Each structure stands twice: as C-alpha cells, then as structure tokens.
Copies of this chain bind each other. A is one copy, B any other.
Amino acid sequence: MKEKITEQSIRLFEKKGFSETSIQDLVESIGVTKGTFYYYFSSKEELLLDIHLGYINELLQHQERILNDNSKSCKEKLFEIVRMLITNIKTQGQAAKIFFREMKNLSEERLAIVVPKRDQFRLNIEGLIIEGMKLGEFRPDLNASIITFGILGITNWSYQWFNPSGKSSDSEVAEIFVEMILKGIQVK
C-alpha cells in the first residue's frame, strides 16, 4: 500500500504539482482514506522526501557503476551517463520532474539530506571531465565546473520535452547530445 501511494503520488505531483495535489486527491484516486495515508507517512512532505530519495539514490548508484567500469574511456563514460539520463526519462521522468521542480517544498532539514546527494552527482561528472582533461581526452583548457553545468542543462532539460515514444529514440538523442558535447556544431 505504501508503494501504491508513492507511485500514484508521483503521477499526480508531476501532473498537477505538489502543492496543487491534495492528500484528498491522492487517496481518492487510489480508493482509500486519508487515515490510511497518515498510517504510512507522517506528513505530505515526508512523502515528497521519499520520492526525492528514491530518485537520486538510484541515479547515484547507476552513475557509480558507470564510473567504476575501468574498461571504459572518459568519453565512453560520459556517453553512458548522458544515455542513462535520457533513457531514465521513460521510467523515471515523472519523478525527475518532481525532483527538479518541487525541491523548494522540502524543509531545511530535509533539504540537508537531499542536496548533498544532488551535488555529489554533479561533482562526479565534474571529476570525470577533469580526469578526461588530464588523460588528454578532453581539451586541457576547459572550465570543468561550468562545462558540467552545461552538460547537466542539456540532459535535465530533456525531461521537459523528450517524448520516449516520439520520433527519436533515447539512444539517438543521447548520441546527438554526446556528439554535440564532444565535437560541437561548427564546421571545422
């Protein structure tokens, strides 16, 4: 039941927004009562935290697996991370939108749990860029921090428009983006 509530809440929060979705909306759409909700969650915000953690933890684990694969070059690792994020939209896109949009609805104490994980994800990419620069895979004069924000912008913004059942597949989009990131769009 707890899982059922969480899943349905992700659907509703994504569609209507966290503040705009009432507990009543949520439980009615499942067919239980408010009491049931509060049997499983201590508050609405607790549920939001659960969603955040479920999303970012899975992402971090996947990222870790990619980064620790020593058979891959930095370029390949970057491609894998980008593809993971695009592919992710199919299964986790709603949770992702909530993650990016509703963070402000977490209290300071709860933010203190989530924010370091979000930063970790970004810093892992930044570390990958720096390593690639050292190994001669990436240009040596990059501003790794800002470039990372750029890459994250490309991928995170995809949650706003990418349609997994549209014309271009996730792998195609990921390839286009990685090619853009690596080679640019300019004629040489």
- Taking Cβ atoms with an 8 Å cutoff, the residues of A that contact B are 16-17, 19-20, 75, 101, 104-105, 129, 136-140, 142-143, 146-147, 149-150, 152-158, 161-162, 168, 173, 176-177, 179-188
Residues of B within 8 A of A183 (CB): 183-184, 186
Residues of B within 8 A of A105 (CB): 17, 20
CA A158 to CA B137, docked complex, whole Å: 26
Please determine whether B176 and A138 come into contact, CB atoms closer than 8 angstroms: no
CB distance from A130 to the nearest CB of B (A): 12
Please determine whether B187 and A184 come into contact, CB atoms closer than 8 angstroms: no
9 A-B contacts, Cβ less than 8 Å apart?
A19-B19, A136-B187, A140-B187, A146-B176, A149-B158, A153-B154, A154-B157, A180-B184, A184-B184
Residues of B within 8 A of A20 (CB): 19, 104-105
Please determine whether A150 and B180 come into contact, CB atoms closer than 8 angstroms: yes
Please determine whether A149 and B157 come into contact, CB atoms closer than 8 angstroms: yes
Please determine whether B138 and A186 come into contact, CB atoms closer than 8 angstroms: yes
Please determine whether A147 and B17 come into contact, CB atoms closer than 8 angstroms: no
Please determine whether B158 and A155 come into contact, CB atoms closer than 8 angstroms: no
CA A154 to CA B158, docked complex, whole Å: 11
Please determine whether A75 and B176 come into contact, CB atoms closer than 8 angstroms: no
